[in-house]
């Protein structure tokens, strides 16, 4: 038994040594290193210490979406201007992250939110007329009303592989982005409150919807200073998803 315990001890020391070597290598050459271990540890502690309270507003029966065909056309995510702006936003904000896959795309969508939010100027439509601007058009002055903002945000998120949707409340339109499941939501909350929007989200709640399939959608309205900010209106009359 003593020989077995010594052998196990030797193997454990060797494994720990090799693990430290791999972390050191990852830190130097940009892979999984000590910094990533620290971030994962903080995320784990945050997930254990705070259990988000979901706003389970499940959409069951929706009304016809107003100006649906015009809005779909206006979300011109394949337009080079929209694509180039989305790329610019992702290269301007939150560029130090080493995440990959869905987590990286989530961070890049948050970068787009930040860039649009920092420049958006609310301007009413012409009196007595509903003017729907293409996303590529709104990029010229970053101005317009709520539907113009929702269209631009949706197009930019769609342009980098995200899944947006636009919510209709009667007198207001606003965009949301697909987060995923409860685990994805916990990671999104960690990013918002602990990494990317610390000051803006301090002592604030994260607002989102859970649809009938259990998918979680995060609020990206222009009235919010961080992703998941307070809803301008709780009412939901329609939803237009851009898969």
Instruction: Using the structure block, give the residue that is written with the tokens 């988000």.
Output: 52
Q: How far is CA 161 from CA 3, 49, 109, 156, 211, in A?
A: 56, 32, 9, 9, 20
C-alpha 147/C-alpha 166 separation (Å) is 9
Residue 96 and residue 171 in one domain = yes
Q: How far is CA 112 from CA 2, 30, 128, 162, 183, in A?
A: 60, 24, 32, 11, 22
Residue 137 and residue 32 in one domain = no
Residue 90 and residue 25 in one domain = no
What is the model's pTM?
0.78
Beta-strand (E) ranges in 14-134? Answer: 121-122
Residue 161 and residue 45 in one domain = no
**For residue 233, what are the contacts with CB-CB under 8 A and spacing of at least 6?**
169, 170, 171, 172
pLDDT (tens digit per residue) in 208-240: 999 888 899 999 999 999 999 999 987 888 999
As for how many domains the chain has, the answer is 2
SS (H, E, C) 98-133: CCCHHHHHHHHHHHHHHHHHHHCEECCCCCCCCCCC
Indicate whether 156 belongs to any domain. Answer: yes
Residue 99 and residue 181 in one domain = yes
C-alpha 23/C-alpha 29 separation (Å) is 10
For the chain, helix, strand, coil in percent to 5 are 50, 10, 40
Residue 43 and residue 124 in one domain = no
The alpha carbons of the chain give a radius of gyration, in whole angstroms, of: 22
DSSP, residue by residue, 136-164:
HHHTTT-EE-HHHHHHHHHHHHHHTT--E
Mean pLDDT value of segment 33-54: 61
C-alpha 98/C-alpha 123 separation (Å) is 38
CA 224 to chain centre: 13
Query: Up-side HSE of residue 56: CA atoms within 13 Å toward CB?
Result: 7
pLDDT (tens digit per residue) in 159-198: 999 999 999 998 899 999 999 999 999 999 999 999 999 9
pLDDT at 60: 46
Band (pLDDT 50/70/90 cuts) for residue 50 is very low
pLDDT at 64: 82
pLDDT at 42: 63
Query: Residue 220 sits in which domain range?
Result: 68-241
Indicate whether 56 belongs to any domain. Answer: no
Residue 193 sits in a domain of what CATH number?
A: 3.10.620
Residue 90 and residue 142 in one domain = yes
Residue 114 and residue 16 in one domain = no
Residue 162 and residue 97 in one domain = yes
Q: Which of 157, 172, 189, 176 is nearest to 215 (CA)?
A: 176
Indicate whether 154 belongs to any domain. Answer: yes
Residue 186 and residue 231 in one domain = yes
Indicate whether 57 belongs to any domain. Answer: no
Residue 115 and residue 17 in one domain = no
Indicate whether 58 belongs to any domain. Answer: no
Indicate whether 165 belongs to any domain. Answer: yes
Residue 157 and residue 129 in one domain = yes
Query: Up-side HSE of residue 192: CA atoms within 13 Å toward CB?
Result: 30
């Amino acid at each position: 038994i003593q020989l077995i315990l010594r052998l196990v001890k030797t193997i454990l020391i060797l494994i720990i040594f090799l693990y430290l070597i791999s972390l050191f290598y990852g830190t130097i050459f940009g892979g999984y290193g000590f910094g990533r271990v620290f971030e994962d540890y903080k995320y784990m502690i945050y997930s254990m210490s705070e259990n988000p309270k979901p706003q389970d507003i499940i959409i069951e029966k929706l009304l016809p979406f107003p100006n649906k065909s015009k809005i779909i056309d206006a979300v011109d995510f394949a337009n080079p201007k929209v694509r180039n702006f989305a790329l610019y936003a992702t290269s301007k904000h939150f560029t130090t992250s080493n995440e990959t896959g869905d987590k990286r795309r989530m961070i890049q969508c948050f970068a787009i939110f930040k860039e649009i939010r920092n420049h958006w100027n609310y301007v009413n439509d012409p009196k007595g007329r509903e003017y729907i601007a293409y996303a590529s058009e709104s990029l010229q002055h970053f101005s317009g009303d709520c539907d113009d903002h929702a269209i631009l945000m949706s197009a930019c998120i769609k342009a980098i592989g995200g899944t947006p949707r636009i919510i209709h409340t009667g007198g207001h339109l606003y965009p949301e982005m697909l987060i995923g499941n409860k685990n994805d939501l916990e990671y999104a909350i960690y990013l918002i409150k602990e990494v990317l929007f610390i000051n803006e989200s301090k002592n604030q709640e994260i607002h989102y919807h859970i649809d009938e399939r259990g998918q979680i959608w995060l609020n990206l309205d222009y009235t919010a200073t961080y992703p998941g900010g307070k809803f301008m209106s709780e009412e939901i009359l329609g939803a237009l998803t851009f898969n």
